[in-house]
């Protein structure tokens, strides 16, 4: 079992912080384990009670037991740090947690996809400070209490005091906090990493290696090229080289790697299309820009609906 670091160890804050993580999926578990290993108090806010969590990382299994709460009233309020680790489309369901746990000095970290964190979440905050975070971590939930880390350690946040404090908070963990002065551009680049890989793996029920097929690689290029045009109109400093860099990222990934949309579809959960492809299409509409490829993909994703998901017991049966 992972032991929390002492509050007097180098690289930790002066005292353990009271933290809460809403959502114990793959990313929520990874972040909770990082907070726990840094010596902080962690409460997992979940729908159903959890036992000990197992996080596989760097060839080792780390098992830790954090308190869980299924109702906001079970947590002493407010906390110092509140991490929202649900999918973006589930954010409205976190309102009762936010209202209970966010006080005047609480930092609310949104560990979610999208380019509109402030527009979606800030109106929900009666108190506290919002810190959007771009998550460059690939992890897979093998069971409700077992998560495996695939690759990536970075959380990218806007430069400023809150970002510095988050870096201090996680300084005793394996996670790296990057403070980005141009967060708008960073958010759009992160959107691009999801824009082709997530929908195309989910729609084909194939792992990331499918994007090396010539026809799908060209489709991915087209989706990303549309994103560069729209992102520029939104104020992001994107260039066409970002398309090639994103495609190179896909090529560098292990062909049997999955995506969050693929995992969600295989598990019978709704796929997170509205804050990825949907966000791109809405931004294009604001600037009257044509994005026919992304519109077509969005139509297909919406058509999946609840009946388009398939529960598959073993991801090993899915081709790559």
Per-residue pLDDT of the chain (320 residues; tens, 9 = 90+): 443 433 334 344 457 899 999 998 899 999 999 999 999 999 999 988 888 899 998 888 999 989 999 999 999 889 999 999 988 778 888 999 999 999 999 999 999 888 888 888 989 998 999 999 999 998 888 888 999 888 889 999 999 999 999 999 999 899 999 999 999 999 999 999 999 999 999 999 999 999 999 999 999 999 999 999 999 999 999 999 999 999 999 999 888 888 989 988 998 888 889 889 999 999 999 999 999 999 999 999 999 874 444 444 344 334 33
Whether 165 and 206 map to the same domain: the answer is: no
Q: Which two tokens stand for residue 184?
A: 């708008």
Q: Which of 189, 190, 206, 273 is catalytic?
A: 190
Whether 298 and 206 map to the same domain: the answer is: yes
Write out the residue range of the structural domain in which residue 106 sits: 18-181
How far is CA 218 from each of CA 178, 179, 225, 293, rounded to the nearest angstrom?
32, 33, 10, 11
Sign of CA pseudo-dihedral 77, 81, 83, 89? positive
Domain end marker among 181, 208, 234: 181
* Domain count for the chain: 2
Whether 84 and 230 map to the same domain: the answer is: no
CATH of the domain at 197: 1.10.1040.10
Please check whether residue 171 lies inside any domain of the structure.
yes
* 87 assigned to active site: no
Decide: 106 and 162 in contact? Cβ < 8 Å.
no
């Amino acid at each position: 079992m992972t032991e929390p670091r002492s509050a007097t160890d180098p690289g930790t804050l002066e005292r353990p912080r009271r933290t809460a993580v809403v959502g114990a999926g793959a990313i929520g578990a990874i972040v909770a384990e990082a907070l726990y290993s840094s010596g902080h108090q962690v409460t997992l806010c979940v729908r159903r009670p959890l036992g000990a969590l197992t996080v596989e990382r760097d060839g080792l299994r780390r098992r830790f037991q954090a308190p869980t709460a299924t109702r906001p009233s079970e947590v002493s309020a407010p906390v110092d740090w509140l991490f929202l680790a649900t999918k973006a489309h589930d954010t409205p369901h976190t309102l009762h947690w936010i209202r209970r746990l966010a006080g005047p000095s609480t930092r609310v970290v949104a560990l979610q996809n999208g380019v509109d964190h402030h527009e979606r979440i800030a109106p929900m905050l009666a108190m506290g400070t919002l810190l959007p975070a771009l998550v460059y971590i690939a992890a897979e939930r093998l069971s409700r209490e077992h998560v495996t880390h695939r690759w990536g350690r970075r959380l990218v946040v806007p430069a400023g005091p809150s970002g510095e404090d988050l870096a201090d908070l996680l300084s005793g963990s394996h996670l790296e906090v990057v403070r980005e002065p141009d967060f708008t551009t960073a958010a759009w680049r992160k959107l691009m990493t999801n824009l082709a890989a997530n929908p195309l793996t989910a729609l084909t029920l194939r792992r990331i290696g499918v994007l090396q097929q010539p026809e799908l690689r060209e489709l991915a290029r087209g989706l990303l090229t549309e994103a560069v045009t729209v992102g520029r109109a939104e104020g992001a400093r994107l260039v066409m080289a970002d398309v090639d860099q994103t495609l190179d990222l896909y090529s560098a990934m292990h062909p049997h790697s999955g995506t969050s949309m693929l995992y969600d579809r295989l598990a019978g959960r709704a796929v997170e299309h509205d804050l990825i492809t949907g966000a791109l299409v809405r931004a294009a509409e604001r600037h009257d820009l044509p994005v026919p490829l992304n519109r077509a993909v969005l139509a297909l994703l919406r058509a999946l609906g609840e009946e388009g998901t398939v529960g598959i017991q073993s991801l090993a049966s899915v081709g790559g």
